Structure formats: structure tokens, C-alpha cells
Amino acid sequence: MKINNLPNIFTAALPVLERLENGGFEAYFVGGAVRDLLLNRHIHDVDIATSAYPEEVKELFQKTIDTGIKHGTVTVLYGDSSYEITTFRTESGYQDYRRPDHVTFVQNLDADLKRRDFTINALAMNLRGEIIDLFDGLNDLKNRLIKAVGNPEQRFHEDALRMMRAVRFMSQLKFKLEDKTKQAVKDHHQLLKKISVERIRDEFVKMGIGPHSRQAFQTFLDTNLSEDVPDFAGKSDLLAVYPKLKFNPTEETSFWSVIIILLKIQDTQINKFMRDWKNSNAMTEAVEKIVTLFDLFSERIPTDYELFKAGKTVLLNTIDVAHILGQPIDSEALVDRYMALPIKSSSELAIDGRFLIKQGIEPGPKLGKMLNTIKEKVIAGELENNEEAIGAFVAKQD
Ligand SMILES: Nc1ccn([C@@H]2O[C@H](COP(=O)(O)OP(=O)(O)OP(=O)(O)O)[C@@H](O)[C@H]2O)c(=O)n1
């Protein structure tokens, strides 16, 4: 198979391949970029595999970065882009974050492709646009199948994260998991225990916000992968609701919020759960706010002040979560009420502490309390947001 009209992202990289070939080396586009080209998906970067050793790559190009020399990877800066160029290799043991523990350089492309995870990721393309397909990856692309290269058990022993990658690709690409590969995941899900939480989390989130996350999640449960990720063991009954949800989450915050709600995690335990998954403070805070507002929605209609405190982003995210969970909610009325709030942030208040001091209020807790009362009254529409009205209100309080 030959691709004639290569997208710009590839044509821009052709001189890099040419230079490697002119230097007497083999060079190919490999991995996700070739897969995504054939699937007509957006391509964010192209990776190159070569027979040249890192030192040889560095000699051929002016601007390079030693990204992972030990692992065979040099980043080449060429034109407006950068390219990861990796020497043909096999690897094993990916216990740590991102990089394999051991790397063995191999003689040719065949040996390099043989150690890759799935047939659809083991395609290569040369500078003439010719596809090299040693493992029937083109057929699996056509049949929309995630299938391990060669022996799936071996592939998962090399890097157990690949089992999470399988369900991630199911969700992102709307593919099915091939039977033997699925059986191998079922048999070896425990291997995931050796993998760093950060790597598992990245794949889990990509699965969660992919367009087929409910189907992928079903496989995540069926294969028992869910038993070997933080805080999910023994919870498959609660998680079984996920594949039956109304919609797929499209935002990371919504995905985590939905998971936390399904797991019935108490407000006080959300922080621990998010930390167990090594999430950032910003992500944890955002999710805590959404789940809290969602709980409030389930009990009663929030007050204007509660809507103000939540803010627009949290409100919209919470509406999104309710929508995904099929929770009836008058989202239009809530957004209208939010939009009609007299102020949407504290900085929009017509007065500040200095104004109150001028009105004779002493600095201290009393002043803070007064400011809050004023804010609440303005938001509730009981007090106009201007100096005159607020001044009159303050005078009446003494
Ligand atoms: N555990 C892994 C990770 C990666 N790969 C190989 O390395 C390539 C690049 O990996 P990566 O950049 O992580 O993922 P992509 O497949 O490119 O997908 P995406 O960029 O969409 O994340 C993959 O296509 C696959 O051939 C692998 O065999 N095993």
C-alpha cells in the first residue's frame, strides 16, 4: 500500500528521513502517526525509527536534544518542528514513568516492530509513502480490532500498561478488543500492580474522555483490570453503572466526578481518592467543587449565593455531570439565574473594606462579617450594588 498525498505534518518531516537515508541509514515513520494517518485522525506528532545510533543521528543534524540517549532517543529540531528519532530497539520493564528499564538495540525494522504493542501501532511508512505491514495491522484497522503483536502474554509482560492502553484505544478509536488479546488481559490483569499510578491514570483518563468510553469501561470491568487500579477493588457492582450511563464524559473533571459519584465516595474522602490516583491539586479542587454542588442539586434548588460561590465553570461542569448521569435538572433555569446575578465575583462589589472603614466600621472580624452580609444581600437582590445604597444600609446597622 502506498499513500500518495501525505499531510503536511509528514511532508515537513521528509527531509529528515532523506538525510538519514543519505547518511546510509534506514528511517521510517512509526507508531501512532501512521495509524492515525490511515484512520484519517488528527496527528499531533510524528515519530521516526532508524537504524542509526543516537550519536550518528546527532552527527547528521545541527540542532538536537538528548531526550533519552540510553533508550535510543534523540530529538531533532528541524524547520518549525521537533522529531523524536529512536534507534531500532526492543525493550522490557516499564515499571517507572514513561521510559523502559532495559533497552536492546536491534538490527532492523522488523525486530523493532515485533516488540510493539498492537498490530495497528506496528505499522511503518517510508519516505515514499509505502506502508510496511508485517503483522496484518492494515486488516485490523479495517476490522477495527485492537490485537496484540504476536503473543499477547509476552507483550503484556514486557509492559503491563499495554492492557490499559488496549481499553484506551477501544474508547478513542471505537475499536473492539480481539478475543485472544482480551483473554490475555483477563489472565494477566494483576501485572498492572507493578505499574506506576501516573501511567495508569493517563491511560484511564484518555479512556474516560474518549468517544466510546462506556464500551471500553465495560471491557475494563469484564477483564478485571478494575481490580488492580487505586480504590476500585471490590467495587465492580458500583462501577457497572458506568457502561449504562446516558452520555460519555468529554472533560476530565466530569469523568472523575462521575466516577466519584458512582463509587459513593464521601465528600471528606474525595481528596484522598484523587491523591491515590496522583491527581494534581487543581484537578482535585475542581472535582471536589463539582461533586459538592451535584450533591446539593440532588437535595434542593441552590440559593443565588450558592450559585455565586460555585461560579460559572463549576456550575456548567456540574450540569454536564448531571446530564451524563441522567439526573433530571432544570439546567436552563439554573444558568439563567446565574446569568442574572447582580454580581458574579467579589471584585464586582461596588464597595470594599476601605469604604466600610470610612463609614466608621473598625477593621477586624466585624468588618469582615459586614462585608459578607453586604455581598449576600446584593446577590440576593435585597440591596442595590452602589455606594449610596450600601452606605445607607451600613448606617442603619449601628
Ligand atoms: N507501552 C507501549 C507504548 C508504546 N508502544 C509503541 O510506541 C508507539 C508510540 O507510543 P505513544 O506515543 O505512547 O502512543 P501512540 O500510539 O503514538 O498514541 P497517542 O500518540 O495517541 O497517545 C506506539 O504506537 C507503539 O508502537 C508500545 O509498543 N508499547
Distance CA 361, CA 370 (A): 9
Widest distance between CA atoms in the chain: 89
pLDDT at 94: 64
Strands 47-50 and 81-87, bridge-based pairing? parallel
Q: Are the C-beta atoms of 197 and 158 separated by less than 8 Å?
A: no
What is the position in ligand 1's atom list of the atom closest to the CA of 33? 17
pLDDT at 351: 95
Please identify, in words, the CATH class of the domain defined by 1-143: alpha beta
For ligand 1, atom 18, name the residue with the nearest CA. 32
Q: Are the C-beta atoms of 18 and 127 separated by less than 8 Å?
A: yes
Which CATH topology does 245-341 take? Answer: Methane Monooxygenase Hydroxylase; Chain G, domain 1 (1.20.58)
pLDDT at 102: 78
Distance CA 51, CA 49 (A): 7
Cβ contacts of 271 within 8 Å, gap of 6 or more: 284, 288
Distance CA 248, CA 181 (A): 25
**35 labelled as ligand-binding?**
yes
Q: Are the C-beta atoms of 161 and 196 separated by less than 8 Å?
A: no
Residue in 132, 139, 94, 126 with CA at minimum distance from that of residue 113:
132
Ligand 1 geometric centre to CA of 286 (Å):
30
Chunked in runs of 10, what are the mean pLDDT values of the chain (398 residues)? 94 97 97 97 96 96 94 94 94 66 86 96 97 98 98 95 98 98 98 95 98 98 98 98 96 98 97 98 97 94 94 96 94 95 95 94 93 95 95 89
Q: Which amino acid is at 355?
A: F
Per-residue b or e along 338-361, where b marks 16 or more CB atoms closer than 10 Å to that residue's CB: beebbeeeeeebbbeeebbeebeb
Residue in 102, 118, 175 with CA at minimum distance from that of residue 152:
118
CATH architecture of 346-397: Orthogonal Bundle (1.10)
pLDDT tens for 51-67 read 999 999 999 999 999 99
**168 labelled as ligand-binding?**
yes
Distance CA 371, CA 367 (A): 6
Residue 61 has a CB neighbour count (10 Å cut-off) of: 18
pLDDT at 122: 98
CA dihedral 286, 292, 294, 295 (to 10 degrees): 160
3-state SS assignment for residue 312: helix
Q: Kindly report the pTM of this predicted structure.
A: 0.92
Grid cell, residue 167, equals 481499553
Ligand 1 geometric centre to CA of 390 (Å):
61
Q: Which amino acid is at 133?
A: D
| Ligand 1 pocket, CB under 6 A | 31-32, 116-117, 121-122, 159, 161-162, 165
Ligand 1 geometric centre to CA of 11 (Å):
21
Ligand 1 geometric centre to CA of 107 (Å):
21
**214 labelled as ligand-binding?**
no
pLDDT at 398: 66
Residue in 38, 250, 220 with CA at minimum distance from that of residue 138:
38
Distance CA 179, CA 357 (A): 74
Query: What is the value of ipTM here, to two decimals?
Result: 0.97
Report DSSP state, residue 149. Answer: S
Q: Does domain 144-244 have CATH number 1.10.110.30?
A: yes
pLDDT at 70: 87
**Residue that has been written with the C-alpha cell 480490532 in this structure:** 145
Testing ligand 1's pocket by substitution, the residue of 44, 117, 202 carrying the most ligand atoms inside 8 A of its CB is 117
Q: Which residues lie across from 256 on neighbouring strands?
A: none
Report DSSP state, residue 301. Answer: P
Query: Hey, where are the domains in the chain?
Result: 1-143, 144-244, 245-341, 346-397
**300 labelled as ligand-binding?**
no
Q: Which residues lie across from 73 on neighbouring strands?
A: 68, 86
DSSP per residue over 192-226, as a string? GGGS-HHHHHHHHHHHHTSTTHHHHHHHHHHTTGG
**162 labelled as ligand-binding?**
yes
Distance CA 298, CA 393 (A): 35
What is the position in ligand 1's atom list of the atom closest to the CA of 32? 17
Angle between helices 197-208 and 161-173 (to 10 degrees): 20
pLDDT tens for 4-27 read 999 999 999 999 999 999 999 999
Q: Which residues lie across from 78 on neighbouring strands?
A: 81
